[in-house]
Amino acid sequence: MNHKGLLIIVSGPSGAGKGTICKELLQRDPSILVSVSATTRQPRNGEQDGISYHFLTRDRFENMIQNNGFLEHACVYNNYYGTPKDFVVEQISSGKNVLLEIDIQGALQVKNKYPEGVFVFILPPSMKTLKTRIEGRGSETPESLKMRLSSAVSEIELIKNYDYFIVNDTVNHATDILQAIITAEKCRVNADIKEIVRRFKEETNVKTID
Amino acid sequence: MNHKGLLIIVSGPSGAGKGTICKELLQRDPSILVSVSATTRQPRNGEQDGISYHFLTRDRFENMIQNNGFLEHACVYNNYYGTPKDFVVEQISSGKNVLLEIDIQGALQVKNKYPEGVFVFILPPSMKTLKTRIEGRGSETPESLKMRLSSAVSEIELIKNYDYFIVNDTVNHATDILQAIITAEKCRVNADIKEIVRRFKEETNVKTID
């Protein structure tokens, strides 16, 4: 198994179910860490700094942007949101796996800064299911529902930038596949393998096989 | 899930345990097909044509080599051995997964002809274990054992040509990982994904979401 941890990016259109799958994954495998986002928006009732979000001032946030301190960031309704880079890089270097549940625009930014991440796209089983799921939330007007669905279709085209796709038919099955992807990726032949080859050669040289 | 099947190449040094892992995999998942090798050597007692091997004449075999009919082939003690290409290509096109258990030289030939295969390298937990396993077969002289171990070390360097590596600590665990790799590879974003994107777009256009 490789020494470095994985950065697993789970992404997909709104309503595809990425949140539910990530929650199930973390319940099954508590060794996986979640990156806490930073934001400049005000904390809401019950939100804790460092747990719900890292609450930062606008100055601090913009300073971090300048210093390449985010894997991705966006400005929504005049508030910044972003994924601080240091935490992710430190945990991965120490062999931990880090999960990032993120929208598609954010995922594409992460891909630019950390292309060795494992990029997983969650697909709904069909557009019909996606429609039913978004309607079920009860928070959309007919107009905004239409917009969400049409943007989902354009977003699905961006799947070509990802490594894997999972059709979210049931949460259990989709999480099984996500776990299989993580298991497989830990066994990818990559730069780390040099260490393993070195170990075998060393073992031979020091004559432990005689 | 992708429509095309996978060609899974399981390879590694002699004594690493690739045969045992493949046997366990086929028992767990009978939907995986095994490619039957062709050979020019004489059938031994109980061997059946088309099951143990495809027994071919030397002329026929050399003709197939000329016509690029093998994914790989080798000549050992003046007998040819090879993996016929047609069977593998047909099964994969029809969505079946095909397993190829093969030595490292053969795997590298397959890689040239079918680079989209899934190349898995089986490693022993240590050189000491490898030594114990080869000794356990009772078929080696001290000289040939030494040669096998030293060739295993050179072979391990060829791991860089593979996609995945599995440390064969126990057959069960190694087979779990091999199954996870197959599950993950079925969800790889590749050319097939275009079909999925097309389906979603079509579903939207035909207004099933209205």
Whether the CA torsion A186, A109, A178, A54 is positive or negative: it is: positive
Residues in B 135-194 with any Cβ partner in A closer than 8 A: 149-150, 153, 156-157, 159-160, 162-167, 176-177, 179-181, 183-185, 187-189, 193
Q: Which residues pair with A99 in a beta bridge?
A: A8, A34
pLDDT of residue A108: 96
pLDDT band at A196 (very low <50, low <70, confident <90, very high): confident
In tens digits, what is the pLDDT along chain B, a chain of 210 residues? 567 899 999 999 988 999 999 999 999 999 999 999 999 999 999 999 999 899 999 999 999 999 999 999 999 889 999 999 999 999 999 999 999 999 999 999 999 999 999 999 999 988 888 888 888 877 788 888 888 888 888 888 899 999 999 999 999 999 999 999 999 999 999 877 777 788 888 887 755 444
Q: Are residues B51 and B128 in the same domain?
A: no
Q: Looking at the structure, do residues A45 and A70 belong to the same domain, yes or no?
A: yes
- A156 to chain B: which residues are within 8 Å by CB? 197, 200-201
What pLDDT is attached to residue B117?
Answer: 96
Cross-chain CB nearest to B180 (options A159, A166, A184): A184
Task: Tell me what pLDDT residue B119 has.
Answer: 98
B77 to chain A, closest Cα gap in Å:
29
**How many CB contacts within 8 angstroms connect chain A with chain B?**
116
Count of CB atoms situated within 10 Å of the CB of B132: 13
Q: Are residues A86 and A107 in the same domain?
A: no
What is the reported pLDDT for B207? 55
Identify whether the C-beta of residue B106 lies closer than 8 Å to the C-beta of residue B150.
Answer: no
Same domain? For A107 and A9 the reply is yes
Position A41 scores a pLDDT of 94
Same domain, B182 and B101: yes
Nearest residue of chain B to residue A156 (CA atoms): B197
Alpha helix positions (H), chain A: 18-28, 58-66, 85-93, 104-113, 127-136, 142-156, 171-186, 193-205
Q: What is the CATH number of the domain that holds B65?
A: 3.30.63.10
DSSP for residue B188: B
Of B52, B71, B96, the one marking the end of a domain is: B96
Per-residue pLDDT at A122 exceeds 50: yes
Which among A96, A121, A142 is the end of a domain? Answer: A96
What pLDDT does B127 receive? 86
Average pLDDT over residues A17-26: 95
Last residue of a domain, one of A96, A111, A145: A96
Residues B101 and B16 in one domain: yes
Q: Does B207 touch chain A (CB under 8 A)?
A: no
The CA-atom distances, in angstroms, between B113 and each of A121, A154, B12, B68 are 30, 36, 19, 10
Please indicate, yes or no, whether residues A1 and A55 belong to a single structural domain of this protein.
no
In sequence order, the β-bridge partners of residue B55 are B39
Shortest alpha-carbon distance between residue B127 and chain A (Å)? 6
Q: Is the CB of A75 inside 8 Å of chain B's CB atoms?
A: no
Q: Is the dihedral of CA A168, A173, A179, A180 positive or negative?
A: negative
Q: Is the pLDDT of residue A68 over 80?
A: yes
- The number of folded domains in chain B is 2
Question: Phi, psi at residue B155, to the nearest 5°?
Answer: -65, -35
- A111 contacts chain B (CB < 8 A): no
Crossing angle of helices B193-205 and A127-136, rounded to 10°: 60
Condensed to tens digits (0 to 9), the pLDDT of residues A125-138 reads: 888 888 888 888 77
Asked if residue A101 and residue A179 are part of one domain, the reply reads yes
pLDDT value at residue B81: 95
Q: Which of A153, A184, A209 sits opposite B200 (nearest CB)?
A: A153
Can you give the residue range of the structural domain that contains A5? 1-32+97-210
One domain, residues B103 and B195: yes
> In this complex, do B180 and A180 lie within 8 Å of one another by their Cβ atoms?
yes
Same domain, A61 and A158: no
CATH number at residue A10: 3.40.50.300
List the single residue in B163, B200, B208 with the smallest CB-CB distance to A188: B163
| Same domain as A207, residue A103 | yes
Q: Are residues B50 and B12 in the same domain?
A: no
Nearest-angstrom CA–CA distance, A149 and B205: 12
